[in-house]
Amino acid sequence: MEKHVTVKSEREEYRLFRSRAIVAAIVVFTALALVFVRLVYLQIKHHQHYTMLSKENYQKKIPIPPARGLIYDRHGVLLADNHIEYVLEAKQDEVEDMKGSLNRIMQLLPVTPQDIIKFKQKLRVNSRFQSVVLKKNLTEKEIAIFSANRSRFSGFKVSVRVQRNYPLGSVASHLLGYVGRIDKKNLQALDEQGLTQEYSGTTHIGKTGIEKYYESRLHGKAGYEVIEVDAHGKPQLKLAEKTPIAGEDLFLSIDLELQIKAEELLSEHNGAVVAIDPRNGDILAMASMPAFDPNLFVNGISYANYNALRDNPDRPLYNRALQGSYPPGSTIKPMAALSGLSAGVVTANSSIYGKGFFQIPGNRHKFRCWKKEGHGHISLNRAIYQSCDVYFYDLAFRMGIKRYAKAMNRFGFGEKTGIDLPHERSALMPTAEWKRKRYDKFWYPGDTVNTGIGQGFFTATPLQLAYATAILANHGRKIKPHVLRATRISRNLPEKLVTPEKLPSIGVTKLRYWDDVIRGMVNVVHGAHGTARKAGKDAKYRFAGKTGTAQVFGIAQNKTYDATKLKKKLHDHSLFVAFAPVKNPRIALAVIAENAGGGSKVAAPLARQLLDTYLLTEAQKEEENNKENPDSKKLSPSLININKLNNQKTPKKKTGN
């Protein structure tokens, strides 16, 4: 059988080789082209981006939080500072045997299992190179014990940390507020404001009061340091540093001596005091009782302490001065009288006959006066100093709720004052429109009558009452109340005073109207028949005031109020407003003592003591200053013994803890 042999020609082999070579060349060229394009992408187009990523592999940026600004009263007495504490902390990457170290530390120091759990939780969320605190507030003895055994605990060390401190405890706690640990809600707010970077390394933030309102001033600006790390991430060299800028120091308008006195006098009552300098809107005192210790919140309040505050029926966390809405009672009668005069509804000499009750024409219901037998023929002056309800029932009825409410709005009722504190409430100046929207009911003439003596739906905050009294003292001139008096960006620089914000006057220009009303208020405390004549007895200055009694619940037509048969919580509130001196007033205030009875019993005497504290101390210091500096024409403010106040024990008073 014949075999066939296939012989490839040289030409065919060459064609095959050439085609394969071309394919290989194309593949190699394509690969080189891709590499070249990638190099262009990395080295030219995105050079800066990838250089940054490369640097981050061997550079670390560590934030340095700023020191929080301090808070002082108007005379430089420290109210909030930064307290040094000693802590035991560790860096995870430096600890050789974490489990064994923790067990040995528990045998050496009073570290609880709960402390260990929290420590491990922090380790999981923090960088291996960040220090994490195991135990705070080390005592000198504990520091000595650890130092003697330092060699047994690699990666652990005692460090100094700064935490917020309120040296006077519960004094002015509602006004100052407190700082607390930054939580998820705070982080979200910071992110929305674009401030996340500024708070890198910061653990605390203002939660309430001045600490919250002026957080942006108090916090300062964060710094950082850039360090070089090795392949294992351990620091090798500091490359750069930006020094943090400390927060501003704040000087408040508060007079600490007056503040302490207000809290001391309120210690037996739930209530509030607000004092304002009518000349510039400075808040001189703002007390709300009972109070609380803000230091409890700085590093996280315990469940036991928080539950005690939350469940306390006296509500120590509630700022009565800003948020308490009370029937203002007769304290608004001077404002109502001025409104009636300016509206032409009454004159200083016109009178009505007070027979102990008021009746709306065509209605048998009797709106009773506090004086059962009535005041007889009574004009504006006596209606104020004897607090005749019938006169003001009649005035409000004749004005009508629309005019009456509008006039009272000008004194700040039913509106927020705009004070530089968070969570202020507007309380309520009721109108027919409001009642229709709120209750879907008509406004009745009887509603107007009750509103005329500060009862019914009408409510006000202690701040609003003090503000309205300051407007009276100023003859209608309005200055927004404020707590911040001055700031300081450096201890080496002087304070920068805050300019008070002037507001439009209420528009009553006839001086005699103001004189008529203020004369009645002066007779409240200095007149022979004034409702607070005991409070004005032997005063070394003349002041103007008005008592008020706010009913907590309604009394039936045929019933008589008898406090002895009622629970304490159902007793009337005691109110008093005043300003002094009558000429050139320097202080206006409002006092409310809950369930303490008539205004002349508790609130008025309390207010007199506060006026004495402020005015007589001020006069005494001015006299001393003039003796020491006879050439000085400028009167010094109500200076106080700063060292004494910084070192004294705070007064015993009701607190929520």
What backbone torsions phi and psi does residue 236 show, to the nearest 5 degrees? -120, -40
Cα–Cα distance between 599 and 604 in angstroms, integer? 6
Residue 220 · residue 214 · CB < 8 Å:
no
Q: E strands of 282-423, at which residues?
A: 283-289, 351-354, 357-358, 367-368, 376-379
Q: Which helix (H) or strand (E) holds 574?
A: strand 573-580
List 288, 330, 600, 638, catalytic entry = 330
**Cα(451)–Cα(336) distance, integer angstroms:** 10
Asked about 330 being catalytic, the answer comes back as: yes
Of 502, 505, 507, 506, nearest to 480 (Cα)? Answer: 502
Say how far apart CA 376 and CA 361 lie, in whole Å: 19
Written as one letter, the residue type at 233 is G
Enumerate residues 6+ apart whose C-beta is below 8 A from 627: none
CA distance 351 to 339: 16
Listed as own residue / partner, the contacts of 495-503 with beta carbons closer than 8 Å and 24 or more positions apart are 495/249, 495/251, 500/280, 500/281, 500/282, 501/281, 502/477, 502/478, 503/478, 503/479
Name the amino acid, one letter, at 476.
G
Residues 283, 257: Cα–Cα separation, whole Å: 13
In this structure, what are the phi and psi dihedrals at residue 393, rounded to the nearest 5 degrees? -60, -50
Hey, what are 482's tokens? 């404020």
Catalytic residues: 330
